[in-house]
Amino acid sequence: MILTVSFPEEEHTEKVHEILFRKGKEFVLFDLSQFPSSTGFGLRISDDTEESTLLINNRAIHCETIKAGWWRRVRPFTINGSNPQDNAFIQSEASQAIDGLLDKLQCPWINPRKDDEIAHRKIYQWSVARRIGLNLPRTLVTNDPMKARAFIRDLGIGNVVYKAFLASINDWRETRILKETDLQFIENVSIAPVIFQEYIEGVDLRITVVGDKIFPVSIDARKTSYPADMRMVVGESVVGIEALPKEIEKKIFLLQKTLNLAYGAIDMRRTNDGKYVFFEVNPAGQWLFAEQHTGLPITEAVANLLIERSNGIH
């Protein structure tokens, strides 16, 4: 049994499940937003037994049968308390129960949940990337308007981008080149930390790593309407399979190993003079757009990795 923690509308999950079904592999989707309102949970411990069960869509899943877990993209619990104080308590109790259950599963995860959480933290992954020798753009993270002004002054208007830490479903923000008119809002930096980075011109690279397989794709958005963030203009970009230098491949695999990630979607940029600059790794990043434009078998690789892990192959 393969346990996927995601939600039904997540298209990457659906595509992988289609392959698992075609190959006759047993799997179940656990949508955290259905707990505790619609999904059942039970744990029984006695002197000689320990049994835990999830009831998902009226199907009892005995946790001892789960041989691999896929922590894909998750939604928050559905809390139906009568007031904010009740909701906080219900949230805490639900989290303690489900986190404890998932932590105790004796199976490999893609990705291990705690490592996945830590790897999402950009400041940490940047430190790891620098340590293994990857190039990074000049970066400032701050909630101090004075430091922000000094960084912008040093690099110059038009040479700085700013972005958010996480691109969530409800709070998605593209990477933006800082303009002169943005300086009037610089005091807002004190409300929450902001990432400022040197703007690097070049060809975007989305490098998807699945276990020991690597799928590098180039997205040339330089002549599009929004070259600062290829996510906005993939349809306008020239997309193709990239041939990475072996040295860069080696560092990428080392990054994955250091972060303990089996899956990662890495964003880099190849500059006009051939330098490779690391931006970030997303442990739950999208790959379908890269697969659709190039034909690279990334979905198949994810499904096969889950099957291998469920069979005890690491």
- For residue 171, the model assigns a pLDDT of 63
Cβ–Cβ contacts within 10 Å for residue 181, how many?
8
Same domain, 53 and 166: no
Average pLDDT over residues 189-216: 96
> Element (H or E) spanning 93, and its range?
helix 84-104
Within a domain: residue 306? no
- For residue 167, the model assigns a pLDDT of 65
Specify the pTM.
0.92
Q: Is the pLDDT of residue 309 over 90?
A: yes
- Report the alpha-carbon distance of residue 119 to residue 121 in Å, rounded: 5
Same domain, 72 and 15: yes
Least-confidence region, from 8-22, 69-83, 92-106, 226-240:
226-240
Out of 154, 183, 198, a domain closes at: 198
Range of the domain at 176: 139-198
Q: What percent of the chain has pLDDT above 90?
A: 76
Measured CA angle at 77 (ends 74, 78), to 5 deg? 130
Average pLDDT over residues 278-307: 97
Within a domain: residue 113? no
Within a domain: residue 127? yes
- For residue 166, the model assigns a pLDDT of 76
- Report the alpha-carbon distance of residue 207 to residue 303 in Å, rounded: 18
Residue 135 DSSP label: B
Within a domain: residue 125? yes
- For residue 37, the model assigns a pLDDT of 85
- Report the alpha-carbon distance of residue 212 to residue 277 in Å, rounded: 22
Residue spans of beta strands (DSSP E) within the chain:
2-5, 27-30, 40-45, 50-56, 59-62, 68-71, 109-110, 139-142, 160-163, 176-177, 194-198, 202-210, 213-220, 238-241, 263-271, 276-282
Q: Is the pLDDT of residue 134 over 60?
A: yes
Residue 82: pLDDT band with limits 50, 70, 90: confident
Domain count across the chain: 3
Same domain, 208 and 262: yes
- For residue 187, the model assigns a pLDDT of 94
Same domain, 22 and 51: yes
Cβ–Cβ contacts within 10 Å for residue 247, how many?
10
Average pLDDT, the chain: 93
Average pLDDT over residues 107-116: 96
Is it true that the peptide bond before 111 is cis, omega within 30 degrees of 0? yes
Same domain, 162 and 233: no
Same domain, 54 and 12: yes
Within a domain: residue 310? no
Within a domain: residue 304? no
Same domain, 180 and 291: no
Same domain, 257 and 286: yes
Q: Is the pLDDT of residue 304 over 60?
A: yes
Same domain, 270 and 226: yes
For 156-178, the pLDDT digits (tens) are 999 999 888 876 656 667 888 88
For 221-276, the pLDDT digits (tens) are 888 888 888 888 788 888 999 999 999 999 999 999 999 999 999 999 999 999 99
Same domain, 130 and 268: yes
Same domain, 192 and 178: yes
Q: Is the pLDDT of residue 290 over 60?
A: yes
- For residue 216, the model assigns a pLDDT of 98
CB 6 within 8 A of CB 27: no
- Report the alpha-carbon distance of residue 226 to residue 109 in Å, rounded: 37
| Token pair 């000049």: residue | 138
CATH number of the CATH domain containing 288: 3.30.470.20
Same domain, 192 and 210: no
Average pLDDT over residues 164-193: 83
Within a domain: residue 239? yes
